[in-house]
Amino acid sequence: MPLDSNLKKVLVIGSGPIIIGQAAEFDYAGTQACKAIKSEGLEVILLNSNPATIMTDTDIADRVYMEPITVETVVKILDRENPDGIIANLGGQVGLNMALALDKAGILREKGVPVLGMPLDAIYRAEDREMFKATMEELGQPIPESSIVHSVGEALHFAAQVGYPLIVRPAYTLGGTGGGTANNDDELAEIVTRGLKSSAIHQALIERSVAGYKEIEFEVMRDHNDNCITICSMENIDPVGIHTGDSIVAAPAQTLTDEEYQMLRFASLKIIRALKIAGGCNVQFALDPFSKRYFVIEVNPRVSRSSALASKATGYPIATVTTKIALGYNLDEIPNAITGKTTACFEPAIDYVVLKVPRWPFDKFVFGDRRLGTQMKATGEVMAIDRSFEAAFLKSIRSLEIGINGLRLPELTELSDVELKARLSDADDERIFIIAEAFVRGASIEELHRITAIDKYFLKKFKNIIDFSKRLQETPLGLDILFEAKKIGVSDSEIACLKGCCEDEVRRLRQSYGILPTYKLVDTCAAEFDAETPYFYSCYEEENEAEHEEGQRKVLVIGSGPIRIGQGVEFDYCSVHCVWALRQAGIKAIIANNNPETVSTDFDTSDRLYFEPLVYEDVMNIIEEERPEGVIVQFGGQTAINLANPLARAGVKLLGTSNDSIDRAEDRNRFDAMVAQLGIPRPPGKSVFNPDEAVLVARQIGYPVLVRPSYVLGGRAMEIVYSEAELRQYMHTAVKASREHPVLVDKYLLGREIEVDAVCDGREVLIPGIMQHIERAGVHSGDSIAVFPAYSLSPAIRDKVVEHTTALARELKVIGLINIQFVEFEDELYVLEVNPRSSRTVPFISKITGIPLVKLATEIMLGKSLEELGYLGGLFVTPNFYAVKVPVFSFNKLQQVDINLGPEMKSTGEVLGIAHSLNSAIYKGLQSAGVDIKGSGTMVVTVSDKDKGEAIPVIAEFAERGFKIIATEGTARALRNHGIEVQTVKKLKEGSPNIVDLIRQGKVDVVVNTLTQGRRPFSDGFHIRRAAVELNVPCLTSLDTLKVILQVLKGDEGAKPQKVLSLQEYVAEYHSQI
Amino acid sequence: MNSDYGYLVLENGTTFKGNLMGTGPCSGEVVFNTSMVGYEQILTDPSYAGQIVVMTYPLIGNYGFNPGNMESQHCWLQGLVVNQLCSESNHYQQELSLQQYLGDNKILCLSGIDTRALTRILRLRGTMGGIITSSLDDQTVLHGEASRMTPPPGGYVGQVTCREMTIIGSGLRRVVVIDYGVKRSIITSLVERKCQVIVVPAQASARSILDLAPDGIVLSNGPGDPVDCGFAIATIRKLLGSVPIFGICLGHQLLSLALGGRTTKMAFGHRGANQPVKDLRSGRVYITSQNHGYTVEPDSIRDKAVDIVFTNLNDNTVEGLMHRELPAMSVQFHPEAAPGPHDTKFLMDDFVAQIDKYKRDEQTTPIWHIG
């Protein structure tokens, strides 16, 4: 069937903010979807609250609604827009849930609007546990047997039917408390007894354990004519037991025979036919490594993280094809964009190996529980392609940017054999390095297989790398061994490390031998057809397929690598916009990146895509292959900025702000000298190299002080310290963390934080606007609520912001973007930080102001002036509405992580609230972020002594509004002294029922908890905050946030009808005033 | 492992250097296969007789070798060219490693080759002759050898067909399989469907086949150019109309020739497990396993009372025929899979169903259910 002619306008539901388990892959999917709909000449309406995404650009969808993704919002949009259909299967779980919610609320029927593509029935049958079970039974597809039990007797009865091992999961406990794996009746009785006790409803789920089975995934596609294809098979290197999002994954599946492969492929197709899936879908299997027995683990009736991976791994555009199917097309009616000649109805054949490795946030959450299990913990991932498993694997490790270029993690050498063994059996994020270390120490394949259950094939591949490294160490660096090293994927820097020389020497030697990488195409068909795609990966083979046109102007853009805390999808937004601006300027745009979730790694985003690690060796290879006229490092976050120096040293021309200017902004001494010269105040402070110096400086400037190592990303290891004892403790951990770099000790100014993004052509400085943070300085800018435009600055301070920004940008001769953070303290404006590059807020500001910041910056880098681009310097006209950026956290996925806000960034994503009134914008922002603000209820308060004076009047107002206030002894006394009615609750150590019990019993609606002193893990406050997170109770650790919520409550926003307007309408109205 | 440098020299002179396992030389038509799994079946599929097979997937041998997955008693191809021959194989069913199997059976294997570069040459220039050798000493001889692709006397079919009739199973229906190089999976998929299978040599006469009183006849797959099998074409002509006939791969080409059609050599053929085939009656597309270098010319067969039912979605070549009057049908692809997808196994069911209906005089023309 061709395009459904009834369709003129389609509503696409986006996935909202980035959280663990739902990352940039939905920006890639949503952007492809919107583009696919537009290309059919239909109107696209988009609902998504995430301002960092490309899909929410005003030229991707005809109307973008940045509103809370709720049923109410959708109803309002349906009423305004009257779309002919809704597409929900490209917006992750959020999209699917919305489709179901709309159906259950009867909206779809009432408004007569269909969900396109994936039928609702398919969603119900895949998502509902019981319906899924029934469907699989009907099909004869085995799923792991399970049962809900209320007693040990019931559990033993189930065990008698199914056999061991069994997994026990108590109901309604978090983090698996009280659960476990039982191998016999005795163990089962013990675990069930304990589990039932810890379950609030005295109930546990018992399931057959398939831990240790191979975990195999198939990415499949079905159209309305019942044509079914599989796009890609994937094999988790970590067997069942570790979430696939936390597993290292290989594509295609590596260890399956044809018989096994076809058995699972056939089962996938049978399942999607029975579910009547339309579009992309993911099926997960557990396969016994010793028989043909398998179980269906999960069916995701939507585009997922795995489909993004499968899409990038094969070149097959799953999201586009899924959208076209939703619009009515069948697979054989959709052209294969890669070959141009064949259709989308085929199965990709690949002639390389793909590996995906997760990127975990434990560099930020040093106290977090690093162990891996069924709860995903990774924030992002990298993918690497090569002709051999070993090379693809080593590339993916390099791509992680964790400072490791091989498989050796130096600190592991310090572990005892016993410790090493313990960490082998209890998988954590460093497992692969632990396996490597075990091989170095002589462990056998058999032994490691027994402990880890990882297939021997993979273990042998890992061992190959270790064995080769050893041989390399012992062999003089001749042509043969060097060529072998490159084929196996050992990096120049690792070779240098093993041979005790420097990377440049290895590089020169390698090049003198003529050992150069060759680039191969990703073409979906293993070279069977001619392909037009410009999608390349490197390998060391004979033929190089990267052909070059003579006389073509080209520029290389460095992407931002994996999504991590502090470097999210916003940098992909910037990289992609840079690429588009280059292409518009008639320059061939080349992009290098390694994140499979992103728009930048779509083969049709740039003129050429190199899927490569973003480290010196691999990037330099691309530069030598392509010989671009310049390289842009300004948009790829810290990943790209880190390359500025080595590339500049190698004589590469960097477009935009010079490397020297980058250094002047990042090097503390040079920075201090510059601001002093410009007469711009900064908080007093100094660089120190040892604890004694630190203490001395702190005494001079007075506590509290902000301490951090130099060269930081996202406020890593940054802390506010209130006493000498704390400072000494910090110095011992932080200085150890970075030996060469000094530690900065600054006066912590408890002021109002102000942030600016600006674009500069070296002379003129355009400031689109000023952002003001709700939370005072000290909360990382990425974690604070930012309001645009600033809502309460005095004209004098505003003028100073403009003045200082202009002076700094000019002084640094910024060509492109600059981001500056200020703090206003006692009527003075201090500069905190200057980043001569694109920032996290650039997408947000660009969308709101309608000023295409990245495009301007790119054109400026190419030689244009702001004036030529139609802009003047200075502060842009202030809009007549407010846009509020609210951070979103993933704390409920990360156990043992403290949620209090501080100078270290912890949020994983953000949402936008936009409205004509400030209160309404904040309300919408909080709603989008999932902060459920009730107008009344029970509030638990524990505030530190230093905060009591400020907190009491605010709490009093909540009490007046009818909130029931509960507090522990100290806080309760202080509140009572001020005439507030308070119920006292026990502290943890005072026995039960205590404050945490109260939260766990669901009797609390909001928690206010401010940090006592510094970082004290596992204190009372920590347990209170964790309990709140785990029960999804709003927990406020900053009084500023509390005040703003009070303000919203006073405005009675919850009761007001909130207007929805598209971003285009806001911006058009705003621009019409200019 | 006995491994040393070796070379693949193509008839156009292009030379690839790699690691050679086994003692050569060997020569044959160099073809590429894009399957990512299934090397055991590919190595033992008689249709590859006389060919040097290049695997486009770079890692071959991951799960070792299980003789239970063999498609015939021998490895028929001349040589195997791979990027990496896996020495880390692991699988519970593996009886020996792929290296061991190749070594035991004296199959030349050249590894360490840029198989993608080689495939691109074959795709652009078409399949060509080639030789795998351990030395490049005499270039002119090598070129001559590489370009000589004449089949052995009696054709490749004569080489691979069985010498004697065999009877397999004791099903309700008797199906004679004419063995032009039959894959074991064709036989087992018939036996699974309650057929007694009698495999007869390719040269068996029509009379001797009909004397077996078959309920149906399968024209099997096999190697080489169908025109080299004049004897088979003549036999098929005599069998047409007697009982339901089902041609697979070479069998399909032979049936077309017997009906008066023509075949031509393709540039580089179809070899892989991802070929989309469309049922023109319903628009349904199936993913099929294929291995052929010749194709039936559509115009040559249109007026021969047949319907072209299946075509290849990529290049529109003929993939399946149904006779309008006689109980005869054929497919270019492999419904028995092995290796490859099981999407079209239903064609085997349909053939068996047709046998039954034909026996009961209910239907004389082929039935293929429309998906």
Mean per-residue pLDDT for A236-250? Answer: 93
Which pairs from A1067-1074 meet CB under 8 Å and 24+ separation?
A1067/A58, A1067/A847, A1067/A848, A1067/A849, A1067/A850, A1069/A880, A1070/A849, A1070/A850, A1070/A877, A1070/A879, A1070/A880, A1070/A881, A1071/A850, A1073/A877, A1073/A880, A1074/A877
pLDDT in tens, A412-438: 999 999 999 999 988 999 999 999 999
Confidence of residue B147 (pLDDT cuts 50, 70, 90): low
Assess if residue B98 is contained within a domain.
yes
The CATH number for B139's domain is: 3.50.30.20
Average pLDDT over chain A, rounded to whole? 92
Range with lowest mean pLDDT among A890-899, A936-945, B162-171: A890-899
Assess if residue B22 is contained within a domain.
yes
Distance between start and end Cα atoms, chain B: 50
Cβ-proximal residues to B43 (8 Å cutoff; 6+ apart), any chain: B53, B70, B75, B77, B80, B101, B107
pLDDT in tens, A381-394: 999 999 999 999 99
Q: What is the pLDDT of residue A1052?
A: 80
**B283 or B144: whose pLDDT is higher?**
B283
Assess if residue B308 is contained within a domain.
yes
Tokens 């831990």 — which residue?
A211
Tokens coding A596: 């499979």
Which residues form the domain of B15? 3-147
How many helices (H) does chain A have, and how many strands (E)? 36, 39
pLDDT of A854 higher than 70: yes
Residue A199, strand partner residues: none
pLDDT in tens, B83-113: 999 999 999 999 999 999 999 999 999 999 9
B162 CB neighbour count, 10 Å cutoff: 17
Q: What is the pLDDT of residue A708?
A: 83
Range with lowest mean pLDDT among A147-151, A710-714, B338-342: A710-714
Shared-domain flag, residues B247 and B298: yes
Shared-domain flag, residues B239 and B337: yes
Of A257, A331, A387, the CB nearest to B91: A257
Confidence of residue A290 (pLDDT cuts 50, 70, 90): very high
Assess if residue B296 is contained within a domain.
yes
Instruction: Name the domain boundary from B89, B124, B147.
Output: B147
Task: From residue A129, give the alpha-carbon distance in Å to each of A123, A124, A357, A373, A794.
Answer: 11, 9, 30, 21, 57
Mean per-residue pLDDT for B210-221? Answer: 97
Assess if residue B280 is contained within a domain.
yes
Shared-domain flag, residues B272 and B308: yes
List residues of B with catalytic annotation: 249, 334, 336
Question: What pTM was estimated for this model as a whole?
Answer: 0.95
pLDDT of A13 higher than 70: yes
A254/B59 Cβ within 8 A: yes
pLDDT in tens, B1-16: 445 899 999 988 899 9
Q: What is the pLDDT of residue A21?
A: 87
pLDDT of A176 higher than 60: no
Shared-domain flag, residues B314 and B169: yes
Given a contact cutoff of 8 angstroms between Cβ atoms, the answer to whether B82 and B60 are in contact is: yes
A257/B37 Cβ within 8 A: yes
Shared-domain flag, residues B54 and B126: yes
Which residues of B fall within a CB distance of 8 Å from A389?
59
Range with lowest mean pLDDT among A75-84, A141-150, A714-723, A890-899: A714-723
Mean per-residue pLDDT for A715-736? Answer: 77
Please work out, in degrees rounded to the nearest 5, the angle formed at the alpha carbon of residue B370 by the alpha carbons of B368 and B371: 125
Q: What is the pLDDT of residue B148?
A: 61
B314/A527 Cβ within 8 A: no
Assess if residue B365 is contained within a domain.
no
Cβ-proximal residues to A34 (8 Å cutoff; 6+ apart), any chain: A12, A44, A46, A55, A60, A61
Chain A, residues 323-362, CB within 8 A of chain B, namely 330-332, 341-343, 345-353
Mean per-residue pLDDT for A608-627? Answer: 98
Assess if residue B367 is contained within a domain.
no
Tokens coding A710: 């130099």
Given a contact cutoff of 8 angstroms between Cβ atoms, the answer to whether A904 and A719 are in contact is: yes
Which residues of A fall within a CB distance of 8 Å from B15?
none
Instruction: Name the domain boundary from B147, B176, B204.
Output: B147
A257/B116 Cβ within 8 A: no
A270 → chain B, closest CA residue: B343
Mean per-residue pLDDT for A812-829? Answer: 96
A454 → chain B, closest CA residue: B90
Instruction: Name the domain boundary from B120, B147, B174.
Output: B147
Q: What is the pLDDT of residue A376?
A: 87
Give which of A218, A222, A259 to mutate to test B binding, by max B Cβ within 10 Å. Answer: A259
Mean per-residue pLDDT for A860-866? Answer: 97
Q: What is the pLDDT of residue B131?
A: 92
**A994 or B291: whose pLDDT is higher?**
B291
Shared-domain flag, residues B140 and B175: no
Dihedrals phi, psi of A354, to nearest 5 degrees: -115, 135
Mean per-residue pLDDT for A908-919? Answer: 95
Which residues of B fall within a CB distance of 8 Å from A259?
69
Closest CA to A602 of A168, A3, A30, A23: A30
Confidence of residue A736 (pLDDT cuts 50, 70, 90): low
A266/B83 Cβ within 8 A: no
pLDDT in tens, A335-348: 988 888 889 999 99
pLDDT of A715 higher than 50: no
Mean per-residue pLDDT for A202-214? Answer: 90
Mean per-residue pLDDT for B286-307? Answer: 96
Shared-domain flag, residues B159 and B135: no
Q: What is the pLDDT of residue A713?
A: 45
Q: What is the pLDDT of residue A279?
A: 95
pLDDT of A41 higher than 70: yes
* Prediction ipTM score: 0.97
Mean per-residue pLDDT for A780-806? Answer: 95
Shared-domain flag, residues B139 and B257: no
Quote the minimal CA–CA distance from B243 to chain A in Å.
32
Give chain B's domain count.
2
Tokens coding B196: 């007694």
Mean per-residue pLDDT for A524-529? Answer: 93
pLDDT of A179 higher than 80: no
Given a contact cutoff of 8 angstroms between Cβ atoms, the answer to whether A342 and A529 are in contact is: yes
Quote the minimal CA–CA distance from B74 to chain A in Å.
19
pLDDT in tens, A109-119: 999 999 998 89
pLDDT of A742 higher than 50: yes
pLDDT of A523 higher than 70: yes
The CATH number for B330's domain is: 3.40.50.880
Collapsed DSSP state (helix, strand, coil) of residue A455:
coil
Q: What is the pLDDT of residue B139?
A: 65
Q: What is the pLDDT of residue A1012?
A: 66
Quick one: residue B337, left, alpha or beta (phi over 0 = left, psi -120 to 50 = alpha)?
left
Shared-domain flag, residues B203 and B101: no
Assess if residue B364 is contained within a domain.
no
A543 → chain B, closest CA residue: B117
The torsion of the CA quartet B349, B350, B351, B355, rounded to 10 degrees, works out to 100
Q: Tell me the C-alpha distance between A836 and A826, whole Å.
A: 27
Q: Tell me the C-alpha distance between B231 and A338, whole Å.
A: 44
Q: Tell me the C-alpha distance between A248 and A239, whole Å.
A: 10
Given a contact cutoff of 8 angstroms between Cβ atoms, the answer to whether A347 and A533 are in contact is: no
Shared-domain flag, residues B333 and B196: yes
Mean per-residue pLDDT for A181-200? Answer: 86
Q: What is the pLDDT of residue B149?
A: 66
Mean per-residue pLDDT for A761-772? Answer: 97
Shared-domain flag, residues B11 and B54: yes
A488 → chain B, closest CA residue: B84
Of A269, A460, A528, the CB nearest to B123: A528
Shared-domain flag, residues B205 and B114: no
Domains and CATH numbers, chain A: 9-118 (3.40.50.20), 127-139+211-301+304-348 (3.30.470.20), 146-208 (3.30.1490.20), 357-512 (1.10.1030.10), 531-657 (3.40.50.20), 684-745 (3.30.1490.20), 891-915+917-1055 (3.40.50.1380)
Tokens coding A653: 């021309």
Mean per-residue pLDDT for A234-243? Answer: 93
Q: Tell me the C-alpha distance between A604 and A586, whole Å.
A: 16
Q: What is the pLDDT of residue A720?
A: 86
Given a contact cutoff of 8 angstroms between Cβ atoms, the answer to whether A871 and A763 are in contact is: no
Could you tell me what percentage of chain A is helix, strand and coil, using 3-state DSSP and rounding each to the nearest 5?
A: 40, 20, 40
